[in-house]
Chains A and B, each alone.
Chain A
Amino acid sequence: MRAKQQSGQALVEWAVSAFVLLLFALGILAVGQIVSQYVTLRSAASQAAFAAARAPSANDAQRAANDAAQQAVQGSQLQDFHLTLDTGGFQRGGTLTASVQGYVGLGEFPIISQVLGQRVRLTWQASALIEPYRSRVA
């Protein structure tokens, strides 16, 4: 009788431990996903800012920034990626700022998504010196 009770207790212990460990493992995977997208997002902001800084006009800067950022996030799992470029008048030698944001979906991590939310928002900003010597278009 006692042996049977202990056997049941071990099973419960095992089940609880396995659940907690599984939860933790899922959490690590989810955090890994967020961190990896964060690296991509930061890189996209930098690349957008540097591409824009080398453009010959404010409009071209916007296009160059968009292209560079889209290229940087291509193949990533960022959702609703958005770039805002502040050219600050696009004066030679001035500073422009690229602000990016995107979401990481956690839907594939069932319990973790209940804790951290279905999507985690990531943002970043990068600035660059507008090239002082490049020819400008009208």
Chain B
Amino acid sequence: MTERRQRDQQGQVLILAVFVMAFLFVPLAIYVIDSGLVEAAHVQTGETLQAAAEDGAQSIDVAAFRNSGGQVVRLDPDQARAASDRSLRASRLPGLEGWTIGVSGNTVTVTARVRVNLFVLGAVTLTQSKGATFAIGT
């Protein structure tokens, strides 16, 4: 009986180790690498969109400013869109698939889709928005 039990237990540690590798360590390794890549892309996308929104939000309406003798200082929506667009293009953000720039009142909002190639799990698409508000004298 004892001998049979010992025979049954042969190789059990190896099987356990294989299970631990397959169901714990390998998924954990994939998670560590791929989530790191996603986080890096997320952080950089956020910083780039913020900069693009800020670049757009400082586009004053030059004609209105000059015609009013410096009394009217307001955001030029078309210039703001163009400036944010130039900023995003200049950033050469990796995986940038598409973006939209919205101007509402004095606020410029930039939304972008970024494709992140992962190490194991293929690719994911991140969508993120950042905004900046036109302000005078701050």
- A residues sitting closer than 8 Å to B (CB atoms) are 2-3, 6-7, 9-10, 13-14, 16-18, 20-21, 24-25, 27-28, 31-32, 35-36, 38-39, 42-43, 46-47, 49-50, 53, 93, 95, 126-129, 131-133
Instruction: Pick the interface stretch among B12-20, B67-75, B101-109, B126-134.
Output: B12-20
Contact for A28 among B3, B28, B89, CB less than 8 A: B28
How many A-B pairs fall under 8 Å by CB?
Answer: 93
Residues of A within 8 Å of B16, CB to CB, are 17
Interface residue SS majority, chain A: helix
| CB of B66 closer than 8 Å to a CB of A | no
Interface residue SS majority, chain B: helix
Known A-B contacts A95-B90, A127-B90, A128-B87; the reply to A42 vs B40 at CB < 8 A is yes
Residues of B within 8 Å of A6, CB to CB, are 6-7, 9-10
Contact for A50 among B10, B43, B47, CB less than 8 A: B47
